[in-house]
Amino acid sequence: MATMEFTEWIRGRTDEQLRALVSARPELITPVPAHLEGLASRAGSPSAIARVLDRLDRFTLAVVETLAVRTEPMTRSGLAGLLGRALTGAEPEPALSVALDRLRDLALVYGPDDGLDLAPGVRKALDDPAGLGPPAAEVFRHHPPEQLDEMADEIAPGTPGTGRERLAAALAEPGRLIAEVSDEARAALDQLAWGPPTGRVPNARREVRLGSARSPIEQLLARGLLAATGEESVALPREVGLHLRQGRVHRDLLPVPPALEGATRDPRLADATAAGQAFAFVRAVEELCERWSVEPPGVLRTGGLGVRDMKRTATELDLPDWAAALVVEVAHAAGLVAAGGGVDGEWLPTNGYDLWRVRATADRWVALARAWLHMDRVPGLVGERDERDRPLNALHTDLRRSSMPAVRAATLGVLASAPGLAPTRDSVLDRLAWERPRRRGPLREQLTEFALREAEQLGFTGLGVLSGHARALLAGDDAAAALAPLLPEPVDHVLLQADLTAVAPGPLTSGLNRWMTLAADVESKGTATVYRFSDGSIRRALDAGQGGDELLSMLERHSATPVPQALSYLVTDVARRHGRIRVGTASAYVRCDDPALLDQITADRRSAALRLRRLAPTVIASRTPRATLVDSLRAMGYAPVAESIDGDVIISQLDSRRVEALPAARVVSSANGLDPEVATAAVRALRAGDAAHLARREPVEAPGGSVPRGPATATISALQDAIRQGVRVWIGYLDSQGNATSRILEPARMEGGYLTAYDETRAAVHRFALHRITGVAGLS
């Protein structure tokens, strides 16, 4: 009966109320039910109820639990009275009105104020509501009837009914039975009163009588104040628990969220600090991709990034291990890094990186920030161990946690509620525990701590305060416009010094930064970055195709000071020696126009392992592979270059190695729920299907004559107009055999190449492939 009443209540909701329902609970229309009766049935399924209960705050959930402990509908005033007993120095209104409106919108509570009841299935989905055990009639249902009769004869002699009914009636007013037990037994009851209502005792199913009860537990079992639910488990009946609570369902209930505690910060200083963090994170991602262009780490056979490669990356980026893991994971989530070459391949920048790096810094940050918000991976777990005691590696599939995007959104939502305040960790956890009480636990707290730490590293927060550009991003506004004025202005010059170092007085432009990273090694970072030139760094630039004169010209053009003589000599000397020795493929050979230099190489004891053989005054052959031979000669202090089979110098381009970017994960719903157009179309389809379900209309005849035909664009446009106006149309449709048929439809929605509509010629809701619709005509 309750199910039918609930279905009729759903049917009586307005279209706006139904849109609010399916927007807040999009799982109810995946796929769209055929009619409203199907929607009501799906809304009462255990999985759908559990999912929506997880979204309720503490007070709203308390309203549901209070209704759940009563088997009959309640009045609004009775509900307010029960809730008021749990509130300390506060009234249930207006929080109760807000909670009831929300619960009705979610279809968890239905009925008028004088008969409020829970939707079908909600009571079953709640395990121990408010920490209360099951009712006596349910908790004793597995006991043998003869045992229940004997217990009822002792505690409720002379009452009519079955043993279970008599026992339930006696426990409805358990005060007399509780007064009979010892102080130790009463203390055991008090421990279970406020939950959890279960405990463990040995041999719980033992048969105990009032006269033979010796221990406190036996006193409770003999009187039915505890019920055995297993061989070693007992439960406190709900009626006994409510009596011990003196009729209260909850205690210490807050109708509003707990206040956040923390330090107050200057918003402008917080925004500036967050902008600096955002800039540093963007540069860290850029540096990661540039380094992996040259020396890409390998992909583990089990997937992910090796521990040694992760350590090396953290050292190169000059970041703690957890921050480097965050950079790697966000770059991967943003589609800037991917695995190439199969399982045993390498982690390489994608072709999307080349498009990302030429964008403005603010736009680049927005792309990274959105990737972090929506990714289901948890970088903070990198370095920890799984249940099999195996290390969790970066970029491994074991880092996925489906709840992580919701945790980030909830955590940032808490920060957004307190402008200018840097809330403490404990106050944020307390607020989240109130907002999502069913999602508490050690893992939830750990994920929240990760979200707070990562938000600071990415530049969402500054000094613990949510920044203005982060607020704009969460609200769907132009975050790049809010961030751009706060970013440091890039400089296009460095200060060259006599000790072969260069000081960048600020963040360099992207092009100059890449060139400096190529021609020099980063010695220290901070407000000013210090670069050091060396033989190896100059040779690295020459290997990439730069010439000695070109290097000196670049230094002169971007230096605010004259090029020091020592640096000029270094570039000239390395360029003079660079490429005199050529290494090709024999397995490998060494070619040089200066026979004396080859004499020097063959006489060097360190070349014995290379197995060199002199073929001519200017040529040496080796059985060593070319790449190994080049590296070995460089280690001996020479400056060889590799050459192709045609004798041309092979130039190593740092950004030449790329891999195809993976398709971005599709976000099926907006931050505020289901897309409004999808919700509107779903409600229209439900209404049409429900009208057909109730009317049980007979099929109608299609109009005579030739079926409608027309261009595809005109057909699509006409169907869209019919959906918006809610009118019927006449279409031509090709069946699976290619035969033309005539249909009269009430279009509901159109997506994914299909039209969902009520087919009056078949008296049913169907989906039609758009490419099979030959044309559309109106009906008078």
* 377 burial level (CB within 10 Å; 0-12, 13-18, 19+): buried
Beta partners for 759?
Answer: 745, 764
The two tokens of residue 197 are 């209502």
Q: In CATH terms, is domain 697-778 a member of 2.30.30.100?
A: yes
- What is residue 153's three-state secondary structure? helix
Percent of the chain whose pLDDT exceeds 70 = 92
- Integer Cα distance of 85 and 661 in angstroms: 59
Residue 668 confidence (pLDDT): 38
pLDDT at 312 over 50: yes
Residue 63 confidence (pLDDT): 94
Beta partners for 116?
Answer: 74
State the maximum Cα–Cα separation within the chain, in Å, rounded to a whole number: 122
The two tokens of residue 328 are 């790697």
Buried b (16+ CB within 10 A) or exposed e, 607-645: beebebeeeeeebbbbebebeebbebbeeeebbbbbbee
pLDDT at 437 over 70: yes
Q: What is the CA radius of gyration of the chain?
A: 37
Percent of the chain whose pLDDT exceeds 90 = 31
Question: pLDDT (tens digit, 9 = 90+) per residue, 247-284?
Answer: 888 888 889 899 999 999 999 999 999 999 999 999 89
The two tokens of residue 63 are 């309203």
Position 191, amino acid: Q
CA distances from 688 to 124, 170, 776 (A): 32, 52, 20
Omega before 73 cis (within 30°)?
no
- Integer Cα distance of 424 and 693 in angstroms: 55
pLDDT at 346 over 90: no
Residue 655 confidence (pLDDT): 45
The angle at the Cα of 115, spanning 110 to 120, to the nearest 5 degrees, equals 40
Buried b (16+ CB within 10 A) or exposed e, 388-416: eeeebbbbbebbebeebbbbbebbbebbe
pLDDT at 231 over 90: no
- What is residue 147's three-state secondary structure? helix
- What is residue 671's three-state secondary structure? coil
* C-beta separation of 317 from 289 below 8 A: no
Output phi, psi for 437, to 5 deg: -65, -25
Q: Is 369 or 555 the better-scoring residue by pLDDT?
A: 369
Q: Is the dihedral of CA 158, 164, 165, 168 positive or negative?
A: positive
Residue 746's Cβ-side half-sphere holds a number of Cα atoms within 13 Å equal to: 19
pLDDT at 510 over 90: no
CA distances from 484 to 11, 225, 275, 476, 479 (A): 51, 68, 9, 16, 9
The two tokens of residue 394 are 């970066």
Residue 652 confidence (pLDDT): 56
Position 456, amino acid: E
Buried b (16+ CB within 10 A) or exposed e, 547-578: ebeebbebbeebbeeeebeebbebbeebbebb
- Integer Cα distance of 751 and 444 in angstroms: 37
pLDDT class of 409 with cuts at 50, 70, 90 = very high
| Start-to-end C-alpha separation, the chain | 43
* 738 burial level (CB within 10 Å; 0-12, 13-18, 19+): exposed
pLDDT at 670 over 50: no
Three-state SS string over 43-69 comes to HCCHHHHHHHHCCCCHHHHHHHHHHHC
* Mean predicted confidence (pLDDT) in 311-317: 92
- Integer Cα distance of 367 and 9 in angstroms: 45
Question: pLDDT (tens digit, 9 = 90+) per residue, 682-728?
Answer: 888 888 888 877 765 556 666 777 788 888 888 998 998 888 888 88
Position 525, amino acid: K
* Mean predicted confidence (pLDDT) in 553-566: 86
* C-beta separation of 130 from 65 below 8 A: yes
- What is residue 92's three-state secondary structure? coil
The angle at the Cα of 545, spanning 543 to 550, to the nearest 5 degrees, equals 115
Q: What is the pTM of this model?
A: 0.72
Pairing of strands 612-616, 740-751: unpaired
* Mean predicted confidence (pLDDT) in 346-363: 90
Give the distance, in angstroms, between the CA of residue 93 and the centroid of all CA atoms in the same chain. Answer: 35
- What is residue 620's three-state secondary structure? strand
Lowest mean pLDDT among 299-308, 506-515, 690-699: 690-699
* Mean predicted confidence (pLDDT) in 89-118: 90
**Which of 413-427, 551-565, 691-705 has the highest average model confidence (pLDDT)?**
413-427
Question: pLDDT (tens digit, 9 = 90+) per residue, 163-207?
Answer: 888 888 888 899 999 999 999 999 999 999 987 898 898 888 888
* C-beta separation of 495 from 567 below 8 A: no
Lowest mean pLDDT among 80-84, 116-120, 637-641, 693-697: 693-697
pLDDT class of 526 with cuts at 50, 70, 90 = low
The two tokens of residue 352 are 């999307």
- Integer Cα distance of 692 and 763 in angstroms: 7
108 CB neighbour count, 10 Å cutoff: 25
Q: Is the dihedral of CA 9, 10, 15, 16 positive or negative?
A: positive
Question: pLDDT (tens digit, 9 = 90+) per residue, 573-588?
Answer: 888 887 676 666 566 7
Pairing of strands 619-622, 641-642: unpaired
- Integer Cα distance of 722 and 748 in angstroms: 9
Mean pLDDT of the chain: 85
- Which of 499, 521, 659, 635 is CA-nearest to residue 567? 499
Question: pLDDT (tens digit, 9 = 90+) per residue, 590-621?
Answer: 888 888 888 888 888 888 787 787 878 888 88
Output phi, psi for 205, to 5 deg: -90, 10
Question: pLDDT (tens digit, 9 = 90+) per residue, 320-339?
Answer: 999 999 999 999 999 999 98
* Mean predicted confidence (pLDDT) in 75-80: 91
Give the distance, in angstroms, between the CA of residue 448 and the centroid of all CA atoms in the same chain. Answer: 12
- Tokens 């404990």 sit on residue: 426
- What is residue 729's three-state secondary structure? strand
pLDDT at 666 over 70: no
Question: pLDDT (tens digit, 9 = 90+) per residue, 30-62?
Answer: 888 888 888 999 999 988 999 999 999 999 999
Q: What residues contact residue 561 under an 8 Å CB cut-off, 6+ apart?
A: 495, 496, 497
The two tokens of residue 307 are 């521990």
160 CB neighbour count, 10 Å cutoff: 7
* Mean predicted confidence (pLDDT) in 15-35: 90
The two tokens of residue 122 are 């909600």
Residue 214 confidence (pLDDT): 85
Sequence spans of domains, the chain: 2-127, 136-244, 262-486, 495-577, 581-642, 697-778
Output phi, psi for 109, to 5 deg: -125, 140
Residue 91 confidence (pLDDT): 80
Lowest mean pLDDT among 424-428, 508-512, 553-557: 508-512
- Integer Cα distance of 401 and 393 in angstroms: 14
Lowest mean pLDDT among 252-256, 468-472, 639-643, 706-710: 639-643
The two tokens of residue 20 are 């609010």
**Residue positions counted in the chain:** 780
- Please list the helix, strand and coil fractions of the chain in percent, rounded to the nearest 5, in that order: 50, 15, 35
- Integer Cα distance of 270 and 268 in angstroms: 5
762 CB neighbour count, 10 Å cutoff: 14
